[in-house]
Amino acid sequence: MLSASKRLGKELPKIHSSLPPGISLVAADGFAEWFMDIRVLDANPIYMDQTFRLKFKFTNAYPIEAPEVTFVRTPDRPIPVHPHIYSNGFICLDLLGKQGWSPVQNVQSICMSIQSMLTGNTKPERPPGDEEFVRTNRQTARDGALQAIAELPVKGYSDGLVFSEGRDTELNGIYG
């Protein structure tokens, strides 16, 4: 985890000194897992006065590979209702996939992208197939669950994100 530790060691002081409004560091005990809180700052009625918690899991491949980023539920932090956020906290965002990730991204830029994604949302709904996905898929985002979902066409929808090529999954009852 040498390159990840080196990179995160550079990111942490910047996070402590200058985070954008609505983003705060909750915990960064070591370089394996960090927790960040984000709030939507505009008057979006869907998320007004709510704070959401993100969990970042880093592997030794960071920053070459994206960290695993999920929303986590706490007693006072819900998982946001959004068309690209599953009720188990998985986030469908191309930035977090193999094709959308770039090593120039960092924890702050990921938080800002997710904050922006929430700000622009006008539909308080879950992705199609949310209940089935959460019930049948126990993988983590790093295990490829989001990549698999993103490349499968959703019934009734013609577009979608593509994170990786050629994955086979158990989700064919919901997708494709």
- Please identify every residue annotated as catalytic: 92
Measured in degrees and rounded to the nearest 5, phi and psi for residue 143 equal -70, -5
**How many other C-beta atoms are found inside a 10 Å radius of the C-beta of residue 174?**
20
* 147-166 burial: b if 16+ Cβ within 10 Å, else e: bbbbbbebeeeeeebebeee
The residue behind tokens 């068309």 is 83
Integer Cα distance of 134 and 87 in angstroms: 7
Integer Cα distance of 154 and 66 in angstroms: 25
